[in-house]
Amino acid sequence: MRDRLSHLQEMSNGHVEPMEDAESTVSDTFSNVDLEEELPHEAVVFDDNSPALEEVFSQSQDIHREIQLIRLEVKRLREQNSRMLQGTTTMSTIKRDSNAIGADIKKRAEDVLARLHDMDGTSHKLEETHGSNSAVTRIARTQYACLSNGFRDAMFDYNEAEMSHRENCKAQIQRQMEIVGREVTGEEVEEMIEKGQWNIFNDNIVSEGKTARSALSQIEKRHQELVDLEARISGIHEIFLDIAMLVEEQGPMLTSIQSNVQKTDEGIQDALVKLGRAKRHDNNNPFKKMFCSCFPCFNS
């Protein structure tokens, strides 16, 4: 990359100021003529969009912060889950167990969903007041779209954390079952989880001895965790459905920059092209050319 800011500033300082205005008015009559002539020059100054903009930014800031907090909670959950697996802490020393973290995530997620719906409402109102092509409406829409995607990713992350913990628990149960002399396949563990039948403990297993007892206690603990995990995931099912609806409505193309830019003011651009063509054809009108020489323009 080449930095040329200093060149520019040198050039600007060396240039004499008063000439600038004269030059720019001269160049005005030659350049930008098409634009100025075709449409009346509206003062496209939206002095009142600043507070609306501020509100959009503050809304999105809040949601962003909440999403970051959810991510933090997910991280804590992962740590918590791995600690449980290693059995490095006992239940009593755990400040916040997985269920508490899960409940917290669910609450925040519901809060974010509500805020996103609010933001959606704000964008619709802005669209009505300022039009769908106005900058503040598009800013609101973009913020909303990106925040929804960010939220979805954070929640997927949460799901991933729970699912991988699930797999780890299953694997551990299998290992412990081997220790007590009863080998089980992954499928069988799944069945046990789903049906809630753990009475296979009662047949054909070694229940005597310290190793066996500790293995059985581990299996109990993992079983309990899996039950809690299932409850957490089914509790949050509704939220996932809502997120999926939200994102699906927007469509995947919204993250493409090209589609974000081209939506705006297309109508005006088309109109300009058509007017330009009409002007060219009009100037070539033979009648006009003929009359212009016969009847000099009358200036009042």
Partner 1 sequence: MAPSGLKAVVGEKILNGVIKSVKKDGEWKVLIVDHMGMRILSSCCKMSDILAMGVTIVEDINKRRERICSLEAIYLIAPVQKSVRALINDFKDVGFTYKAAHIFFTEPCPDGLFTEIGRSRVAKVAKTLKEINIAFLPCESQVFSLDDPTSLYSFYSSKPNEEKDKMIENLAEQIATVCDTLKEYPAVRYRKGPEENARLADEVYRRLTAHKADNPSMGEGPDKARTQLLIVDRGFDPISPILHELTFQAMAYDLLDIKQDIYMYQTTGIGDSKEREVLLNEDDDLWVQLRHMHIADVTKKVTELLRTFCESKRMCTDNANIKDLSQMLKKMPQYQKDLSMYSTHLHLAEACMKKFKASLDKLCEVEQDLVIGATPDGEPLKDAMKSIVPVLLNNELEPYDKIRIILLYIFHKKKGITEENLAKLIQHANIQADSNIITNLENLGCNIIAGGSNAGKTLPERKERTGSTYDLSRWTPIIKDVMENVIDDKLDKRQWPFISDPAPINTTQTAVSARFGHWHKNKSPPEYRTGPRLIIFVIGGVAHSEMRSAYEVTQATDGKWEVLIGSSHILTPTSFLNDLKSLDQVPNPDC
Cα distances (Å, whole numbers) of residue 272 to 15, 37, 66, 90, 277 = 35, 10, 45, 73, 9
Alpha-carbon span 169 to 281, nearest angstrom:
78
- Residues interacting with partner 1, by CB under 8 A? 1-5, 7-9, 11-12, 15, 20, 23-24, 31-32, 35, 44-46, 49-50, 53, 57, 134-135, 138-139, 142-143, 145-146, 149-150, 155-156, 159, 163, 190, 237, 240-241, 243-245, 247-249, 251-258, 260-262, 264-265, 268-269, 277
User: Do 176 and 215 meet the contact criterion of CB atoms below 8 Å apart?
Assistant: yes
- Residue number, 149 or 168, with CB nearest to partner 1: 149
Burial class (CB in 10 A: 0-12, 13-18, 19+), 107: exposed
Residue placing its CB nearer to partner 1 in the complex, 19 or 297: 19
Shortest distance (Å) from residue 225 CB to partner 1: 17
Q: Specify the residue, 59 or 215, whose C-beta has the smaller distance to partner 1.
A: 59
How far is Cα 239 from Cα 190, in angstroms, rounded to an integer? 25
Please count the residues of the chain. 300
**Which residue lies nearer to partner 1 by CB, 38 or 97?**
38
Q: Which is nearer to partner 1, 203 or 248 (by Cβ)?
A: 248
Instruction: Quote the CA–CA distance of 119 and 139 in Å, as a whole number.
Output: 12
Smallest gap from Cβ 120 to partner 1, in A, equals 17
Written in H, E and C, the secondary structure of 34-73 is: HHHHHCCCCCCCCCCHHHHHHHHHHHHHHHHHHHHHHHHH
Cβ of residue 80: shortest distance to partner 1, in angstroms? 20
Q: Quick one: 45 or 294, whose CB is closer to partner 1? A: 45
Shortest Å, Cβ 39 to partner 1: 8
To partner 1, the closest distance from the beta carbon of 1 in angstroms equals 5
Please count the other Cβ atoms lying within 10 Å of the Cβ belonging to residue 219. 21
Tell me whether residue 84 is exposed, middle or buried, using C-beta atoms within 10 angstroms of its C-beta: 0 to 12, 13 to 18, 19 or more.
buried
From 151, 127, 156, 150, select the one nearest 139 (Cα to Cα).
127
Q: Which is nearer to partner 1, 252 or 296 (CB)?
A: 252
